[in-house]
């Protein structure tokens, strides 16, 4: 048994995924492993994903990241949620916040109480009871021991990779510069034994992590794992990205505005603004998309727009033989809900928890693949939800999305919420009850019924509940700093 012990880990590919894997393994299991990362300066980094979700903070805590140092090094700002515009109908707007809404008793989530109040003509907007929503839209943010705000970050993904590299190398990771020209396999088992570089150097390993992006050098080109296509649910296949000057106050939320054939993003960092257009080439040409994006920019461009081609789907196995795919090498769900970094950081932590110290077993591989697949499918279905629940009639793209069949589990969720306002978070699922409720209600899915817990209260008691919650949120937001002011005090950038 000990003849097959895993000691040498080789990560092929850098970027955010590669250096996340290196940082996680080296800082959590480092003394027991020999970790090498191979990357080529000649291979570009996609580096578009600049928005995250709050789970990144847990990952950072585990690998002992200093928040202020990380934010300074990556031009980072804070993010309390996503503002969606024009999704259900042109002119609509709703906010998917990272916090909780109101206060939920054990019997039923708060949105049920709000639905009862709304049916009686009061209660206001659901946004009134979300600190993260009100703070974000007001351009406010602050950290304080008595301020329970939930948040994530916007940052420069390329600089984030460099920051993680510095942590990894300080923890013993060896970096080798070079292009992989061939992959060696054991002729009997098919396991990868080494990669050969253009220099002639041979890098041997026991476990290989493929972070080579969409090409999947190890997981696909070598091991022929296969790809499961999801374009029938998520047909967008182009991202057009451009950076603009930061001329306006930085808002602590991502903007996602729907257009005729997809959606566009706006993400503000300390030193610049990330902008982009997500669209389907089957409905919109690249030239038309670029012209549209240029016409929607609020500030002067810092670079020319670049096109990134992709396809939604996943490898048929994340872990195949002695190779684990992470990042774009493993799967892709478009960046609408900023799940990409979360998913490969989860992959790193699953590996840490299930590391094959005494050798790779089928049971271990099957378990890793099963857990990873379910987490990815939960994220995929949440993104599909935004497209399915639309009432736009301005283009074939949106009409086709509304008419499409969706995964059975997602359809069951939609039906359940429509009939009873019931939303739930399954075991191991990323998105919370409040996330599902905010998006479903924001996309105009109107429940026909709800839990009538509020029927046990008098109108006076309900008024007291809603008024108290709203006043608490408004008072807290009023005391917070403007986001720009807090960022300049807390983490002024040191990055170029």
pTM of the model: 0.96
Phi then psi for residue 210, to 5 deg, are: -90, 110
Any idea where the domains of the chain sit in the sequence? 2-77+155-231+312-378, 104-148+385-479, 238-309
Beta bridge partners of 51: 154
Can 134 be counted among the known catalytic residues? no
How far, in whole angstroms, is CA 12 from its chain's centroid?
Answer: 22
Contact 146, 475 (CB under 8 A): no
Q: Which of 269, 258, 334 is nearest to 296 (CA)?
A: 258
For 2-77+155-231+312-378, CATH number out of 3.90.79.10, 3.50.50.60, 3.40.920.10, 3.30.1180.20 equals 3.50.50.60
Contact 413, 436 (CB under 8 A): yes
Q: Which of 53, 43, 55 is nearest to 14 (CA)?
A: 43
Give me the catalytic one of 79, 134, 140, 388: 79
Beta bridge partners of 426: none
Task: Round to whole Å and give the CA distance between 393 and 455.
Answer: 38
CA atoms within 13 Å, Cβ hemisphere of 390: 34
SS3 258: strand
Q: Which of 464, 474, 458, 437 is nearest to 115 (CA)?
A: 437
Q: What is the pLDDT along the chain (496 residues), one digit of tens a residue?
A: 445 899 999 999 999 999 999 999 999 999 999 999 999 886 655 555 589 999 999 999 999 999 999 999 999 999 999 999 999 999 999 999 999 999 999 999 999 999 999 999 999 999 999 999 999 999 999 999 888 899 999 999 999 999 999 999 999 999 999 999 999 999 999 999 999 999 999 999 999 999 999 999 999 999 999 999 999 999 999 999 999 999 989 999 999 999 999 999 999 999 999 999 999 999 999 999 999 999 999 899 999 999 999 999 999 999 999 999 999 999 999 999 999 999 999 999 999 999 999 999 999 999 999 999 999 999 999 999 999 999 999 999 999 999 999 999 999 999 999 999 999 998 889 999 999 999 999 999 999 999 999 989 999 999 999 999 999 999 999 999 999 999 999 999 875 5
């Amino acid at each position: 048994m000990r003849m097959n012990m895993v000691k040498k880990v080789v990560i092929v590919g850098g970027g955010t995924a590669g250096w996340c894997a290196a940082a996680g393994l080296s800082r959590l299991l480092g003394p027991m492993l020999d970790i090498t990362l191979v990357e080529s300066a000649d291979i570009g980094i996609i580096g578009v994903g600049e928005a995250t979700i709050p789970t990144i903070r847990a990952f950072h805590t585990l690998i002992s990241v200093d928040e202020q140092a990380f934010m300074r090094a990556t031009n980072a700002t804070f993010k309390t949620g996503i503002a969606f515009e024009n999704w259900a109908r042109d002119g609509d707007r709703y906010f998917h916040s990272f916090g909780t809404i109101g206060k939920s008793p054990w019997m039923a989530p708060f949105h049920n109480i709000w639905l009862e109040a709304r049916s009686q003509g009061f209660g206001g907007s659901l946004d009134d009871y979300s600190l993260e929503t009100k703070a974000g839209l007001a351009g406010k943010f602050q950290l304080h021991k008595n301020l329970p705000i939930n948040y994530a970050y916007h940052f420069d993904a390329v600089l984030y990779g460099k920051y993680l590299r510095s942590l990894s190398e300080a923890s013993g990771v060896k970096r080798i510069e070079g292009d992989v020209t061939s992959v060696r396999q054991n002729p009997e088992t098919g396991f990868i034994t080494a990669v050969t570089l253009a220099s002639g150097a041979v890098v041997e390993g026991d476990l290989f992590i493929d972070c080579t992006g969409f090409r999947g050098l190890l997981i696909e080109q070598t091991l022929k794992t296969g790809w499961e296509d999801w374009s029938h649910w998520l047909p967008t296949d182009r991202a057009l990205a451009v950076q603009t000057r930061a001329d306006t106050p930085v808002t602590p939320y991502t903007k996602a505005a729907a257009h005729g054939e997809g959606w566009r993003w706006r993400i503000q960092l300390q030193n610049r603004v990330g902008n982009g257009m997500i669209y389907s080439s089957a409905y919109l040409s690249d030239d038309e998309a670029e012209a549209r994006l240029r016409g929607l920019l609020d500030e002067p461009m810092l670079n020319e727009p670049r096109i990134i081609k992709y396809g939604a789907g996943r490898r048929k196995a994340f872990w195949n033989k002695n190779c684990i795919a992470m990042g774009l090498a493993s799967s892709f769900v478009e960046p609408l809900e900023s799940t990409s970094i979360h998913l490969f950081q989860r992959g790193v932590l699953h590996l840490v928890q299930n590391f094959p110290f005494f050798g790779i077993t089928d049971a271990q591989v099957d378990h890793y693949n099963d857990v990873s697949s379910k987490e990815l499918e939960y994220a995929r279905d949440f993104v599909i939800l935004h497209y399915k629940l639309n009432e736009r009639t301005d283009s074939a793209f949106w009409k086709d999305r509304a008419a499409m069949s969706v995964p059975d589990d997602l359809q069951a969720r939609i039906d359940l919420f429509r009939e009873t306002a019931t939303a739930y978070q399954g075991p191991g699922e990323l998105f919370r009850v409040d996330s599902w409720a905010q998006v479903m209600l924001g996309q105009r899915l109107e429940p026909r019924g709800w839990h009538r817990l509020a029927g046990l209260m008098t109108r006076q008691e309900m008024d007291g509940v809603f008024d108290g919650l709203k006043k608490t949120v408004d008072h807290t937001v009023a005391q917070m700093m403007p986001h720009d002011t807090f960022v300049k005090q807390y983490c002024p950038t040191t990055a170029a």
